[in-house]
Homo-oligomer: A and B are copies of this chain.
């Protein structure tokens, strides 16, 4: 573990925290090929940047991401900023020949995503989009099982991602609810995850038809932006993204897909649920119980068949050897540790490639865009 790899983190909010913890922990839990050094943490807001640097033990902080990206001593640029900045930062990082990991969704649209793919390709840098759920051990196991044929031919993919954090109409009009910053609402935020998992587990999607809705069309402006109107009421603004986005899909291999993302499912906090039915078996995954994978095997003997609850905490399961004994669960943050492990091992081993790559991110973007087009045109659209 002699060799180091220096990280420049852009964006010090929720994802910045998850990524910092991953860099901090990865070489403790795993024998990595390189040791990540928390070099610079960067945020537009200096107060945030400074506090974050101190809290998470970054060596320096910065408020200028261009400068960070260009520094000679930075090896990996890690992009944790809002969606509308991903493309620009990526292009700068690629020009500077940095390896790049970028939060999802990769871009605001297909056009941006293509630029990012091309820039990374041209620069010949390792590039990864942070679809961290691929490395939840239960989903990595699901992938192994599907690849080895344990589920047979796939007939159905059912992916849901249900949350409830904006159900209250008085929840303010934050940037995530404005199209210019977020691109879309539940669609890009949540569907992006379950589309990527569909690609990972089932394969490419050929066509889609969808529907989107904004249930609460106007919301109070957030504190700072807002103010009271002449009549003493809070000023309101228009929500310009979707609250919910559902779509049906056909996969190239003949499977059918059903996708649903919403922020209006009261009681569902992080309610991602994946069910896949194949000719030989079925699996079910629920993110809030992410250490478990349900598996129904058609090969079990007659009268003894049933969905079995695999606790994905055995040393033989993906990533688990780095952590704890059977039955001692890991949490949300470990999906980032696992992701970062594979990123730096790809760099350290000279493999130069790791999935999900920007190509994978582009593929997600194509589906996201096709769904939006379908919603406008009210008909099926090829991806």
Query: Residues of A with Cβ closer than 8 Å to B?
Result: 1, 14, 18, 20-21, 24-25, 27-28, 54-57, 141, 155-156, 158, 160, 162-165, 167, 209-211, 213, 215, 244, 246-248, 250, 254, 256, 258, 260, 262, 264-271, 275, 277-282, 287-291, 295-298, 300, 302-311, 313-314, 316-317, 323-334, 378-380
Residues of B near A288 (CB, < 8 A) are: 291, 311, 327, 329
Residues of B near A266 (CB, < 8 A) are: 277-282, 296, 298
Number of copies: 4
Closest 3 CB pairs of A and B: A270-B327, A269-B327, A267-B296
A337: min CB distance to chain B, Å: 11
**Is A215 in contact with B329, judged by CB distance below 8 angstroms?**
no
**Is B209 in contact with A265, judged by CB distance below 8 angstroms?**
no
**Is B215 in contact with A326, judged by CB distance below 8 angstroms?**
no
**A-B contacts, 23 listed (Cβ < 8 Å):** A25-B25, A141-B303, A155-B215, A155-B244, A156-B244, A209-B209, A210-B248, A213-B256, A215-B254, A246-B248, A267-B307, A268-B327, A269-B311, A287-B327, A304-B308, A305-B308, A323-B331, A324-B332, A324-B333, A328-B332, A330-B332, A331-B334, A379-B380
Q: Which of the residues B55, B269, B296, B297 comes within 8 Å of A313, measured between beta carbons?
A: B269
Kindly name the residue among A14, A279, A287 whose own CB sees the greatest number of chain B CB atoms within 10 A.
A279
* Nearest-neighbor residue (CB-CB) of A151 within chain B: B266
Q: Which of the residues B55, B258, B333 comes within 8 Å of A258, measured between beta carbons?
A: B258
Residues of B near A279 (CB, < 8 A) are: 167, 266
**Is B211 in contact with A248, judged by CB distance below 8 angstroms?**
yes
Alpha-carbon separation in the docked complex, A329 to B280 (Å): 25
* Nearest-neighbor residue (CB-CB) of A267 within chain B: B296
